[in-house]
Structures are given as C-alpha cells and as structure tokens.
Amino acid sequence: MLQSATERQKPSPKAQSAMEYLMTYGWAILIIAVVLGALFQLGVFNGATFAPKAPPGACQVFRPNGPSTAFDLNLEGVCNGELPEYVASFNANGAVNVIAPTQLPIGDSPRTIVAWVYPLGGNNNANGNQQVVFYGQSTTDEGVGLIIYPDSNNVYFEGWNDWNSGLIVTNNTWNFVAVTYSGGVSNTIGGYENNQSASGYLSAALATPSGTNLYVGFGGPATRYYKGYIANVQIYNASLSQPEVNALYLEGIGGAPIDLQNLVGWWPLNGDANDYSGNENNGVPTNVVYTSSWTSGYTTP
C-alpha cells in the first residue's frame, strides 16, 4: 500500500526516542565531561597523586663523626626516591633563610646547585629575575646562585659574572634545574634542565661573597622573590659530572643526594626547612607554605 506524504514525513519511534534521550540527558553528559576535564587539569588522574609519599625527614644523611665530616657517611630512612609528602610554595614574598651555613663553596672553588622548580610565571620584582638558591648576600654585592629570568625563563648561574645557560624552564610544570662550576683556572660551567644540558665558561673567576646567609626563594640586594614551588635543593662543594647530574634528575623529585662526601646542604623542603645533609644548616622559613597538593605537572623521569 502506498504511504501518503504525511505518513512518510512522520519520524520513526526510535528516532524520536533518541532525540528525547539527548534532550533529557545531554546537559548531564556535558557537565560530566567538563568536570572530568577539570579534574584532569588538577592532576587528579595523575599517577603521582596516588603514589606513596615520604613524610618530612624520612631520608637523611647520617654523619657519625659530626657535622662537616666527610667520611663514614650513609643514608638513613626512606631513601628510595619515594615522592615527598609536601613541597614549599613561594608567592613572591617569602623565603627560606639559612643563617651562616657552614662548608659552602666560596670564591672560585667548585660547586653544584640543584633544585626542582615549578615556576608560576610573573612576579612583583622591579629587578625582573627570580632567585631560586642564593648566598653571599650583602648590601653592595650580589653573591652566587641559581636563578630564573621570568621574562625568558632562562636558567642562569649568578656570581658577579652571570652565565646564561640558554636552557628554558616551563611554567606551571615541574622542572629539574642545576648549575655546576669547575672552579680554578678553567672556570668551566654547566647548566641543566631536565635531561638537557649546556656548557660554557665565565669570563673571570668568582670573587668571595662578603655575606654569610643562604636563601631559597629570594636573594640579592634587590627584591628578587621567587613565585612558585621549590623542592629538593642540594648544594655540593664539587662540580658534579654530567652523568652524575643526570642521575639526580632520573631519581626524580624525591631523590637523595649521590655524592655524600661533597654534600654541603640538602633541603628537601618536605614540610620543613631543615638541612638533612647532616651539616645542621637548618633554614628559617618566612611566608612559606608547605603544600601536599603539588603533583599536578609532575611526571616521573
């Protein structure tokens, strides 16, 4: 039997049911998709969020013969690279101040400075750069340290004779950064960002800082505050080799020091500002918050 035009244009019951389903539940599906996207951005689905976390002080260097000794050293506690429970949050107005630390490499002596950083971009500094680790401050000179220029996000070594590594950190994600300085006549220097490296030299040997304090998240006569997160700061009085620095990177954000004999200070910033190198160079935090919500943007190397 032939259908009339009206009958042919009438939608099928299945099509009508599908349209009604979409109209009824479409908004709910859209809202669920938006919520899932937001949770993903917050790192809820990041494997690091659910990984075991080491509490403050879980791993430390034991010096049986007291601070500043460099023999019979060993690691104690949970030192298997387990992720930290906390990291330090700096909001461009805070710092960790280590008063008169001992054993810091000064003058043109070798050194290595290591840190994990999560820069948030921008600051309130008229000077423009952000100090990650800095020591030797006085009212007339600048000292030495590891800094990031937020206008370009370049990793710099500072020591009167600044050196731009050409390596660039990424905002809103975790970066491993390090600088090494060989000291002596050659003045060779190396920079590291994650598994990238660069090398160069300074035009002149470093001078001896006149100041005595070390800062994390701040430094210099100018107001050079850092904005973002910092974790696992290590300083050595030796210039670590490229394989050694890469090994530190591969250990991840919870990695322990690898050269205990030349380790000067170790500030994991996992819930406190204590020095876990055994040298007792404990820091005093000011306007620093320790947060457990830090895993977004972190991927195990």
pLDDT tens profile 160-187: 567 778 888 888 999 999 988 888 766 7
Does 71 lie in the same domain as 24?
no
| One-letter-per-residue 3-state SS of 114-167 | EEEEEECCCCCCCCCCEEEEEECCCCCCCCEEEEEECCCCEEEEECCCCEEEEE
Count other Cβ atoms within 10 Å, centred on residue 179. Answer: 30
Residue 99 domain-assigned (yes or no): yes
Question: How many CA atoms are closer than 13 Å to the CA of 144, on its beta-carbon side?
Answer: 25
Tokens of 191: 């920079």
Does 84 lie in the same domain as 26?
no
Q: Radius of gyration (Cα) for the chain, nearest Å? A: 26
Does 140 lie in the same domain as 175?
yes
Does 60 lie in the same domain as 30?
no
Does 28 lie in the same domain as 172?
no
Residue 27 domain-assigned (yes or no): yes
Residue 2 domain-assigned (yes or no): no
Residue 301 domain-assigned (yes or no): no
Residue 116 domain-assigned (yes or no): yes
Residue 252 domain-assigned (yes or no): yes
Does 61 lie in the same domain as 36?
no
* pLDDT recorded at residue 194: 92
pTM: 0.81
Residue 48 domain-assigned (yes or no): no
* Local confidence band at 26 (pLDDT 50, 70, 90 cut-offs): low
Count other Cβ atoms within 10 Å, centred on residue 91. Answer: 16
Q: Assess whether pLDDT exceeds 80 at residue 129.
A: no
Does 25 lie in the same domain as 63?
no
Q: Assess whether pLDDT exceeds 70 at residue 27.
A: no
* Local confidence band at 1 (pLDDT 50, 70, 90 cut-offs): very low
CATH of the domain at 117: 2.60.120.200
Does 20 lie in the same domain as 161?
no
Q: Assess whether pLDDT exceeds 90 at residue 256.
A: yes
In contact, 53 and 84? CB cutoff 8 Å: yes
Does 168 lie in the same domain as 28?
no
Query: Measuring CA to CA, which residue among 286, 288, 178, 300 is closest to residue 233?
Result: 178
How many domains does the chain contain in total? 2
Query: Measuring CA to CA, which residue among 189, 127, 183, 129 is closest to residue 153?
Result: 129
Does 128 lie in the same domain as 18?
no
Does 223 lie in the same domain as 108?
yes
Residue 6 domain-assigned (yes or no): no
Q: Assess whether pLDDT exceeds 50 at residue 2.
A: no
pLDDT digits (tens, 9 = 90+) for 41-89: 555 555 566 778 999 999 999 999 999 999 999 999 999 989 999 999 9
Tokens of 132: 């990650």
Domain that holds residue 158: 53-291
